[in-house]
C-alpha cells in the first residue's frame, strides 16, 4: 500500500532532515509510528498525503506515485484515498455533527454529495455510537464523541488509507481504548490501512507493527 | 452551492458578529441615501408649497418665520398684524387677501384661523361632512382626523398656549363638521376654523349669560348707565351652540383684531409689482414677501449643510470600510486552523477563498436587503418624516 524509496527531505530554512531509504506498509496493515517530537513523524504523513513534496526519491501510495502528481491531482488523490484523524479532532465548530461528517464532500469537487452518502454517514455515525447526536454542534460534544465524529469524517469517503496523527493524545485512558477499538474496527470493516503516529507506548501492542522513527534518523547519520 | 451553504452556516453560527457587520454596512449605505431622499422630499414639499403661494403679507421681521408659520404651520409665531392689513389690500383693488391666524393648537395640531377662501385657494376638498358655516366649528386635515380618530359630529378642545396660562385662554370645545381629503401637504395637519372662532379661542369674542336678565345679584359687580361690570362668577360659554351663539359678541374694534399673516393673491404681475412697491418703505409696519425666494434661500443653506454632511459621511464610511476589512482579516486569522484542516483534507486554496468570498457576499446581500427595506420605509414615510423633522 505504501512504498518509499530513497526519500530525502529537508526544510530549506531549518536543519531538519528526513532520510528514508526503504519503507513499506502492506494493505490492511495497522502500523504505529513512534519517535521523539520533531523526528519527522507528521512530516512523513504530510509527504505521504502529498501536502508537501520532497522532490527527491519516490513515494508510492495505493499504487500512485504521489511525487509525480500536480497540485490539484494531489488534492483529489488525498480526499479520495486518505482519511485523516487529528489529535485535536479539528472539527468545524459552526457545523453540526452530520455536517462535520460530510464536510469533505462539501469542500472538494472530487467527492459528490448524494442522498446515498448522507445515508451512509448516518449509518456510520450509528455504528460508532453517535447516531443520536447528529444535530448537535461540535462544541456540545465530549472529547470522546468529538473523536468519533472525526473518525466518521475520515472513513466516510471509504479511503484506502487512514492517517491518525496522535488521535488518542487528548483522551483519557478509558476513552483511548474505546476510540482505538472503534478506529481498528472501522478500518477493518473498510479494509483500509492504518498508519498511526503515537507517543503512547501502552497502545503499541495492539498494532501489527511498530516503526521507530529513530531508525530513519540513524539512516541519516550513517 | 456548498460554499454558500457553509458560508451561511458560519454566518448564522456567529450571529452577533454578523448582525454587527450587517448593521455597519447598512448604515454606510442607508445614511447618505436616506438623507438624499429626505432632502429631495423636503425640497419638493417646501418648494411646491412656496411656489403656489404668490405673496405673503406680515409684520416686519423674520421673513423665514413668517413663511414657515403661514405655509407650514410652524410653532414659531411671527409678530402679529391686524385686520387693517386685510382691509388695506382689499381697498387697493390689486389683490385678494386671505387672512391667517395660526397661533393656537388643539391636541398639538395647529389651529388655522382663516376664511373659506383658503380652501378654494389651496384646492382643499372635503372627504366627509361639510364646510365651516357657524362660529365654533372646525374642519380637520386628513392626518388630524386619522390620528385623533375624529369624524364629523365629534368635538375637539383647543389647548391653552401654556400649561401655566390659568387666567388666560379657556379651551373652546369645537364641533367637527368636516374632514378634508388628504392633500399630502401641511394642510393635512391643520385644524381649520373661521377667523372669528380663532378670536373666540383668544377671548376677544366671547359669550356669556345675559347680564340684563340675571336674577342673582352676586353675578354683577357694578351696574350703571354706561353698562354692566360682571363678576368672575358669571357663566362664560366654552362651547358655541345654537342656543348660545347669539350671546357671542366682539369687544373693541374688530379692525384691530390680530392676524399672523395675509396670503395676498395679486390680480396680475403688474398688481404684484405695485403692491410690493407699496411695502418697500422703510417706515412701513408690514412687509410683503415672495415665499419662493425665502424658501430658495433656506434650501441653499440646507444643501450647503448637506455637502458638509456628505463629506462627514464619506469619511465615516471610509473608516467603517477599513474597520470591516480589518474584521475580515482578523476572521481569516481566527479561522486559520479551520483553513489548514480543510486544506489537509483536500480543499483547494481557491475553494477556501471562494468560501470566504461567499461569506462577504451573504453579509453584503443581507445588508442590501435591510438597506432596501429601510429606504423603502423612508421613501413611503418621507413626506411625514420631512414634515415632522424639518418643517413642523
Please give, one letter per residue, the 3-state secondary structure of B180-235: ECCCCCHHHHCEEEEHHHHHHHHCCEECECCCCCCCCHHHEEEECCCCEEECCCCC
* Pair (B385, B275) in one structural domain: no
Per-residue pLDDT reduced to its tens digit, B312-371: 888 988 988 898 889 888 988 988 999 999 988 888 888 889 988 999 999 999 999 999
Tell me which H or E stretch contains B176. Answer: strand B173-180
Q: What is the CA radius of gyration of chain B?
A: 31
Name the residue range of residue B156's domain: 55-207+248-289
pLDDT given for residue B23 in this prediction: 93
Name the residue range of residue A78's domain: 2-221
Is B14 an 8 Å CB contact of chain A?
A: yes
Cβ contact, residue pair A84, B2, below 8 Å: no
Per-residue pLDDT reduced to its tens digit, B116-148: 999 999 999 999 999 998 888 999 999 999 999
* Pair (B33, B84) in one structural domain: no
Could you tell me which chain B residue has the CA closest to the CA of A52?
B344
**What is chain A's mean pLDDT, rounded?**
86
Give the CA distances from residue B227 to residues B212, B220, B222, B249, in Å, rounded to whole numbers and listed in that order.
Answer: 10, 11, 8, 15
Is B336 an 8 Å CB contact of chain A?
A: no
Distance CA B103, CA B157 (A): 15
Could you tell me which chain A residue has the CA closest to the CA of B11?
A94
pLDDT given for residue B233 in this prediction: 59
Q: Is residue B188 part of a domain?
A: yes
Q: Is residue B99 part of a domain?
A: yes
Q: In total, how many domains does chain A have?
A: 1
- Residues of chain A with Cβ-Cβ distance to B344 below 8 Å are 49, 51, 78, 84
* Pair (B283, B164) in one structural domain: yes
Distance CA A196, CA A183 (A): 10
Q: Is B328 in contact with B320 (CB distance < 8 Å)?
A: no
Cell of B214: 340675571
Average pLDDT over residues A193-220: 81
Cell of B377: 420605509
Q: Is residue B78 part of a domain?
A: yes
Q: Quick one: which of A198, A221, A200 has its CA closest to A31?
A: A198
The complex's ipTM works out to: 0.84
Residue with cell 390680480: B267
* Pair (B285, B171) in one structural domain: yes
- Residues of chain A with Cβ-Cβ distance to B343 below 8 Å are 51
- Phi, psi dihedral angles at B193 (to 5 degrees): -135, 165
Q: Is A132 strand, coil or helix?
A: helix
Cell of B373: 427595506
Q: Is residue B224 part of a domain?
A: no
Q: What is the dihedral of CA B17, B22, B25, B27, to 10 degrees?
A: -110
Per-residue pLDDT reduced to its tens digit, B219-261: 666 666 666 666 655 566 677 777 777 777 777 777 888 999 9
Q: Is residue B70 part of a domain?
A: yes
Distance CA A127, CA A157 (A): 16
Per-residue pLDDT reduced to its tens digit, B29-57: 888 888 888 888 888 888 888 999 999 99
pLDDT given for residue B222 in this prediction: 67
For residue A76, give the CATH number of its domain: 3.40.50.300
Q: A117 Cβ partners below 8 Å, 6+ apart?
A: A102, A105, A111, A156
- Residues of chain A with Cβ-Cβ distance to B341 below 8 Å are 86, 90, 92
Q: B333 Cβ partners below 8 Å, 6+ apart?
A: none
* Pair (B99, B183) in one structural domain: yes
pLDDT given for residue B229 in this prediction: 64
Q: A130 Cβ partners below 8 Å, 6+ apart?
A: A97, A141, A145, A148, A149, A152
Q: In total, how many domains does chain B have?
A: 2
Query: Is the pLDDT score of B12 beyond 90?
Result: yes
Q: Is residue B37 part of a domain?
A: yes
Residue with cell 384646492: B123
Q: Is A134 strand, coil or helix?
A: coil
- DSSP-derived letter for residue B388 is I
Is B4 an 8 Å CB contact of chain A?
A: no
pLDDT given for residue B14 in this prediction: 92
Q: Is A168 in contact with A179 (CB distance < 8 Å)?
A: yes
* Pair (B40, B136) in one structural domain: no
Is A87 an 8 Å CB contact of chain B?
A: no
Give the pairing of strands B126-129 and B173-180: antiparallel
Q: Which of B341, B346, B355 sits opposite A76 (nearest CB)?
A: B346
Q: Is residue B237 part of a domain?
A: no
Amino acid at each position: 500500500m505504501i512504498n518509499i524509496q530513497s526519500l530525502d527531505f529537508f526544510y530549506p530554512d531549518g536543519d531538519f532532515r528526513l532520510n528514508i531509504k526503504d519503507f513499506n506498509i502492506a494493505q490492511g496493515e495497522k502500523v504505529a509510528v513512534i519517535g521523539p517530537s520533531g523526528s519527522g513523524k507528521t512530516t512523513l504523513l504530510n509527504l505521504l498525503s502529498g501536502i508537501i513534496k520532497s522532490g527527491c526519491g519516490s513515494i508510492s501510495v495505493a499504487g500512485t506515485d504521489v511525487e509525480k502528481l500536480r497540485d490539484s491531482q494531489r488534492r483529489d488523490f488525498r480526499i479520495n484515498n486518505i482519511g485523516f484523524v487529528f489529535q485535536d479532532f479539528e472539527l468545524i465548530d459552526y457545523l453540526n455533527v452530520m455536517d462535520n461528517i460530510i464536510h469533505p464532500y462539501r469542500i472538494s469537487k472530487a467527492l459528490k454529495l448524494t442522498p446515498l452518502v448522507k445515508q451512509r454517514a448516518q449509518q456510520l455515525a450509528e455504528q460508532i455510537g453517535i447516531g443520536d447526536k447528529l444535530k448537535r454542534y461540535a462544541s456540545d460534544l465530549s472529547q470522546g464523541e468529538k473523536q468519533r465524529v472525526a473518525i466518521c469524517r475520515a472513513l466516510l469517503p471509504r479511503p484506502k488509507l487512514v492517517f491518525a496523527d496522535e488521535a488518542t493524545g487528548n483522551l483519557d485512558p478509558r476513552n483511548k481504548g474505546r476510540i482505538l477499538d472503534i478506529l481498528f474496527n472501522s478500518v477493518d470493516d473498510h479494509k483500509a490501512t492504518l498508519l498511526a503516529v503515537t507517543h503512547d507506548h501502552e497502545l503499541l501492542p495492539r498494532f501489527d507493527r511498530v516503526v521507530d522513527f529513530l531508525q530513519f534518523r540513524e539512516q541519516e547519520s550513517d | 452551492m456548498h460554499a454558500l451553504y457553509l458560508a451561511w452556516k458560519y454566518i448564522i453560527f456567529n450571529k452577533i458578529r454578523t448582525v454587527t457587520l450587517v448593521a455597519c454596512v447598512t448604515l454606510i449605505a442607508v445614511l447618505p441615501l436616506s438623507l438624499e431622499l429626505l432632502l429631495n422630499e423636503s425640497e419638493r414639499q417646501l418648494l411646491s408649497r412656496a411656489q403656489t403661494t404668490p405673496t405673503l403679507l406680515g409684520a416686519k421681521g423674520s421673513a423665514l418665520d413668517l413663511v414657515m408659520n403661514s405655509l407650514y404651520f410652524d410653532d414659531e409665531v411671527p409678530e402679529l398684524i391686524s385686520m387693517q392689513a386685510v382691509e388695506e389690500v382689499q381697498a387697493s383693488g390689486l389683490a385678494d387677501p386671505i387672512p391667517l391666524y395660526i397661533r393656537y393648537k388643539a391636541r398639538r395640531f395647529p389651529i388655522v384661523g382663516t376664511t373659506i377662501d383658503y380652501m378654494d385657494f389651496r384646492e382643499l376638498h372635503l372627504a366627509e361632512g361639510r364646510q365651516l358655516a357657524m362660529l365654533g366649528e372646525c374642519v380637520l386635515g386628513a392626518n388630524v382626523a386619522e390620528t385623533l380618530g375624529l369624524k364629523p359630529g365629534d368635538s375637539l378642545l383647543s389647548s391653552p398656549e401654556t400649561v401655566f396660562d390659568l387666567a388666560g385662554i379657556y379651551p373652546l370645545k369645537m364641533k367637527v363638521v368636516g374632514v378634508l381629503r388628504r392633500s399630502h401637504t401641511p394642510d393635512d395637519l391643520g385644524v381649520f376654523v373661521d377667523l372669528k372662532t380663532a378670536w373666540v379661542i383668544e377671548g376677544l369674542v366671547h359669550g356669556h349669560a345675559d347680564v340684563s336678565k340675571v336674577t342673582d345679584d352676586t353675578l354683577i359687580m357694578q351696574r350703571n348707565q354706561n353698562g354692566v361690570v360682571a363678576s368672575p362668577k358669571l357663566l362664560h360659554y366654552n362651547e358655541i351652540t345654537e342656543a348660545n351663539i347669539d350671546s357671542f359678541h366682539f369687544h373693541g374694534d374688530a379692525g384691530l383684531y390680530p392676524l399672523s399673516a395675509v396670503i395676498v393673491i395679486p390680480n396680475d404681475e403688474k398688481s404684484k409689482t405695485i403692491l410690493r412697491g407699496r411695502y418697500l418703505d422703510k417706515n412701513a409696519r408690514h412687509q410683503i414677501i415672495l415665499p419662493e425666494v425665502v424658501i430658495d434661500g433656506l434650501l441653499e443653506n440646507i444643501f450647503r449643510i448637506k455637502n458638509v454632511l456628505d463629506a462627514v459621511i464619506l469619511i465615516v464610511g471610509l473608516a467603517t470600510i477599513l474597520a470591516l476589512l480589518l474584521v475580515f482579516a482578523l476572521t481569516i486569522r481566527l479561522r486559520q486552523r479551520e483553513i489548514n484542516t480543510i486544506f489537509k483534507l483536500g480543499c483547494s486554496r481557491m475553494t477556501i477563498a471562494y468560501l470566504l468570498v461567499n461569506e462577504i457576499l451573504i453579509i453584503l446581500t443581507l445588508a442590501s436587503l435591510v438597506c432596501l427595506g429601510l429606504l423603502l420605509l423612508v421613501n413611503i414615510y418621507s413626506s411625514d418624516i420631512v414634515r415632522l423633522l424639518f418643517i413642523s
